Amino acid sequence: MRFHQLIQNAPGWKTLEDETAFENPFLEVHLVNVATPQRPEGAHWSVIHRKGACAVVPITEEGNLVLVRQERIPVRADLWEFPAGQIDTSAPHTPEIIRETALRELQEETGYELAPGGELIPMGKFFSSPGVTDEHTYLFCARPVVLSPKGTHYDASEAIAGARAFTPKEFRDMIACGEICDANTLSCFARLTALGLL
């Protein structure tokens, strides 16, 4: 796994050493030594490389938000989350590929698709844990969405118990009480709110 295009050694940054300590198809652990503007002599660090991903806020014609209920093995729990998925290509992540991934995950996980004339609004990206990984997710708002004749199509590795539309008040209450607790969905809500989309 290589540097993502968006992560580059800007002036003052230089990768001095980079050893792959573990790798499988899902993640790589690298032990690096990196010179930084504040640490020109270099700093040793453990870095987890992960694929980039997309997450989508589907808003229905009634103004409700569609979440999926997904089993998350690392935390041994079902979570309500916005649909999301990794960008599964070694090709450069062009804006077109990123948008295609977002629209595919929307349809496959929720069974909804962008309505004719609907818009897929980019809401930037975020890093899930920049102290340890380059994992990042591109965020979008899709509105309005309508039920797709294609239905859902889950990856073999996923376990999604279903999708449901929630009113903005229900959604906000689920964030306030902690029921919504994954970074993708919380970050989507942050950007939706700051951009005035909700």
Q: Which residues bind a second copy (CB under 8 A)?
A: 7-10, 13, 21-22, 24, 26-27, 29, 31-32, 34, 36-39, 43, 45-48, 50, 71-79, 124-136, 157, 159, 161, 172-173, 175-178, 181-183, 186-187, 189-191, 193-195
Q: Which residues pair with 98 in a beta bridge?
A: none
24/90 with CB nearer a second copy = 24
CB of 54 to a second copy, least distance (A): 13
73/91 with CB nearer a second copy = 73
Whether 132 and 28 have beta carbons less than 8 Å apart is answered as no
* Residues in CB range of 159: below 8 A, 6 or more apart: 70, 71
Whole-angstrom CA distances from 178 to 70, 169, 183 are 16, 14, 12
Q: First-to-last CA distance in the chain? A: 37
CB of 146 to a second copy, least distance (A): 27
The neighbour count for residue 188, using CB atoms within 10 Å, is: 27
CB of 21 to a second copy, least distance (A): 6
Q: What's the CA gap between 81 and 8, in Å, rounded?
A: 30
63/124 with CB nearer a second copy = 124
Q: Which residues pair with 58 in a beta bridge?
A: 142
CB of 177 to a second copy, least distance (A): 8
CB of 93 to a second copy, least distance (A): 15
The neighbour count for residue 13, using CB atoms within 10 Å, is: 14
34/103 with CB nearer a second copy = 34
Peptide bond into 144 cis (omega under 30): yes
Whether 66 and 18 have beta carbons less than 8 Å apart is answered as no
120/186 with CB nearer a second copy = 186
CB of 120 to a second copy, least distance (A): 17
92/131 with CB nearer a second copy = 131
